Chain A
């Protein structure tokens, strides 16, 4: 289905160059197809999604530099596998927001449920509220900035990228961590297996400063943060570590 067909079925209205899809009138399928059609057409770069009402899979699989504003709460996997697009959720979001994101920017104005940016390979996720459990689970290169706190098991098996938390972190932070960098300003309930506190060196201050800049965060000082990383003791299987497996 092309956007033209959709326009005929009133799924999309274009006002001053902004494509508007009202999910009270059209389906998530219509919306995603219209966004995917931009891959060939690229005639509407700005989009607004009305009445998201917690629908799942909104704006998934986008691979163009679109700007998408979702006016309300979204369900699971919002902006999943995003490439290049800038997606803002003006509300809370469900499980797996920006899961497996490759590039682009996803911003959640409210709170995010569990598994935010799970396995994401690149791009930036900014959560202005709190994030639930397993934030950044198996992350593979994404940068995540949480202005509030994160739940338990965050950054589990984190492979690459940065997780910065301006609030507190729950239990078992960074369990079985590979090479992801974790920064927390507040308290950490407990560290997971093979995750340790590490020295904050100049390059880490720089990394955080740069992240704050990209995320548009101006009220944080990188020096207030503590760094956590992998002790790399579980990297090769050793009998002496049996208790940790």
Chain B
């Protein structure tokens, strides 16, 4: 070994200028345009893994794992609607647009959700017959773009979700690039085929909570007060948004944290706007409690929910149900390693593929390409999704029983502790082994 080599340190990668950061600088320099991608925030954020359950022992009584019942059903929207939604499990399928996803993928979401008694949701781009046909409970999104919006579909819906924002891009509109605007998508959105379509970020005919109250009444009048009306917000100033949503007349509030997936938006938006899901829930619950509306106006939480532990933790923090997007796509088969060779050809790898907006998804899910779409079988996809939803439910029940709860909604913050100071402060539960909740009491 030469003298020089002996004293050389290992090449050291900068934590600030890491590989991904440097490649983004090169990409920006090459193209002159920001990066657009799908999925949610990829950076490490305080999340549900930073929370733990305190199982029962001496001071609490556990329930028998396979014998004693643990209820999972939940009623959504009984504040004003004549026909609230009854879910058998508290895990719903979040709104993902036809356009972003293929018609078969939407059909599979309906099949899977219906098999286990939960709801699915339309998205930007309207309601497709495939989806309506296969979903026993379908939530119809009312978005700023109003693509495909019509009163007949509105009356076919089991609930209406007024979308103000998404966790991936609070304050941003939608985006569907030309590749995915096929004849059918263009027709449903009344757009020329192949244009890059930017959906509006603001509703065209109302501004602010006072207008929204009137808008919600209009939707109720049109549907004769039959179905629940949800309001969906991206998590930012959640405490105030939830208060205003209750005031505006929502039956149900959906809070989507910054980990939440999207079909497409700027990477800078996904990674730098909004607050983590875990931080949003206590804000929402506090707002509801202060108004005496907790459990009366139901809270659905989404953004980065992956397993039954996440479901149980959301519910322990006070949510009535959760919604999943990305995990549902993965359950259907998105990013499956069996397509690795093709992901490589697209410059990605299974597990990291997020160029859903380009419409070249090898798994045939986030595409409108007829050949790629054929790869995906909606019946098999539906079966897989149903299985996955069953596992989420069983896992959440397991944890609830261990905490001595015979209903998932009996889980409470008191059942949780935090592993880090950040998560203790955000979730408002004590740091494990202490009684310290930063921000609530002095150390």
Residues of A within 8 A of B (CB): 28-29, 32-33, 36, 56-57, 60-61, 63, 75-77, 80-81, 83, 95-96, 99-100, 102, 114-115, 118-119, 121, 134, 137-138, 140-141, 156-157, 159-160, 176, 178-179, 235-237, 239, 242
Contacts and interface: CB of A to CB of B under 8 A. Distances in A.
A56 B224 contact: no
A239 B31 contact: yes
B205 A157 contact: no
B200 interface: yes
B192 A179 contact: yes
B150 A33 contact: no
B192 A138 contact: no
Contacts of B191: 159, 178
Given A96-B205, A100-B150, A80 B222 contact: yes
A138 B154 CA distance: 19
Contact of A138 (B155, B194, B200, B211): B200
Contact of A237 (B177, B190, B204, B225): B177
Interface string B142-170: 00011001111011000000000000000
Contact of B204 (A29, A61, A81, A119): A119
B218 A159 contact: no
Given A159-B191, A235-B192, A235-B196, A137 B151 contact: no
A134 B218 CA distance: 20
Given A121-B150, A236-B196, 20 more contacts: A32-B224, A36-B224, A56-B214, A56-B217, A61-B155, A61-B223, A81-B154, A95-B211, A99-B204, A114-B205, A115-B204, A119-B205, A134-B205, A137-B204, A137-B205, A140-B190, A159-B189, A159-B190, A235-B178, A235-B192
Contacts of A99: 204-205
Contacts of A95: 205-206, 211
B215 interface: yes
Q: Most chain-B Cβ atoms within 10 A of its Cβ — which of A75, A118, A159, A239?
A: A159
A95 B135 CA distance: 35
A208 B215 CA distance: 33
A81 B214 contact: no
- The A interface, classified by DSSP as helix, strand, loop or mixed, is loop
B190 A76 contact: no
A119 B149 contact: yes
B124 to A, nearest CB: 13
Given A36-B224, A115-B204, A57 B218 contact: yes
Interface string B190-215: 11101110101000111000010011
A96 B152 CA distance: 19
Q: Helix, strand, loop or mixed for chain B's interface?
A: loop
Contacts of A137: 204-205
Contacts of B223: 61
A176 B204 CA distance: 14
Contacts of A159: 189-191
A189 to B, nearest CB: 20
B150 A80 contact: no
B192 A178 contact: yes
Nearest to B175: A237
Scoring B32, B146, B204, B223 by chain A CB atoms within 10 A of each residue's CB, the highest score goes to B204
Interface in B30-56: 31-33
A235 B198 CA distance: 9
Given A100-B146, A102-B150, A121-B190, A236 B195 contact: yes
Contacts of B190: 121, 140-141, 159-160
5 contacts: A63-B151, A115-B206, A119-B146, A140-B146, A237-B177
Contact of A76 (B145, B155, B214, B224): B214
A36 to B, nearest CB: 6
A138 B145 contact: yes
